[in-house]
Structure 1
Amino acid sequence: MILHICGAADWAEVGEGGEYRPPSLAETGFVHCSDFGTAHLPADEFYRGRTDLVLLEIDPAKTGAPVRWEDGVPPHPAGIRFPHVYGPIPRAAVVGVHAFREVDGGGFRLPDSLARR
């Protein structure tokens, strides 16, 4: 499974049988994703202070698009690679939606619903 961070309202707009198309798909040609161990990195970098986020838990085999592990955009200083989905995310590929919030003291961590796996 891979994870994608988005606003809850953005995800709510995807109808049954629809596809999620974040702006990055048009801008870079892919959807930025993370794995369970790296989701906090882009969240801490780009989403501080946001209280409306969810993590989409995505089955890569159900995306119908290539998934490639590549350098981040921009590349992570430690050389960590991230999954990029080269197409929209079908609603059927999302197997879970989890609230994603900063913890007390700042920073993001996986919600308990994912951390226990």
Structure 2
Amino acid sequence: MILHITDRQQWEQAKEKGIYRCESLGTEGFIHCSTPEQLTAVANSFFRGQQGLVLLCIEVDRLQAELRYDPVENQLFPHLYGPLNLDAVIQVLDFTPDAMGFHLPPELQ
């Protein structure tokens, strides 16, 4: 399983359209994802203070677009090189920080 952080509004729009795309797909050519082990650091680096986020839990075996693990700062991060087909999303979790920041949701521990 890989994870993707997005805002609830983008996710709701994706459900209406039947496919998920985000800005980075157009600007960088891929959708940024994380492993569960990488999630907290990514969230606290790039989403600090943001509200209204959801966490998409993605089943890798269901992906239609190409998934690559690209090196970034001495780690391999999962990047999806195409739109995300909605049937690959197996769970959507509210992703709200507390006073200390973001944490891995209990459902994923």
TM range (shorter): over 0.9
Query: Within the alignment, does 1:46 sit opposite 2:33 as a pair?
Result: no
Q: Which runs of 4+ in 1 moved over 3 A?
A: none
Compute the RMSD of aligned alpha carbons. Answer: 1.4
Q: How does 1:71-90 map to 2 (within 5 A)?
A: 71=71, 75-76=72-73, 79-90=74-85
Aligned residue pairs total: 109
> Matches of 1:50 and 1:33 in 2, distance apart?
18
> Matches of 1:31 and 1:55 in 2, distance apart?
14
> Matches of 1:98 and 1:114 in 2, distance apart?
10
Give 2:13's aligned residue: 13
Identity, in percent, stands at 39
- For structure 1, the 5+ residue unaligned runs are none
CA contact (8 A) 1:16 1:91 kept: no
Give TM-score, length-normalised by structure 1. 0.86
Q: CA deviation at 1:103?
A: 2.6
Q: CA deviation at 1:22?
A: 0.5
Q: CA deviation at 1:13?
A: 1.1
Q: How does 1:1-117 map to 2 (within 5 A)?
A: 1-15=1-15, 18-71=18-71, 75-76=72-73, 79-104=74-99, 106-115=100-109
Judging by fraction of residues, say which structure has more strand: 2
- For structure 2, the 5+ residue unaligned runs are none
Q: CA deviation at 1:17?
A: 7.2
Give TM-score, length-normalised by structure 2. 0.92
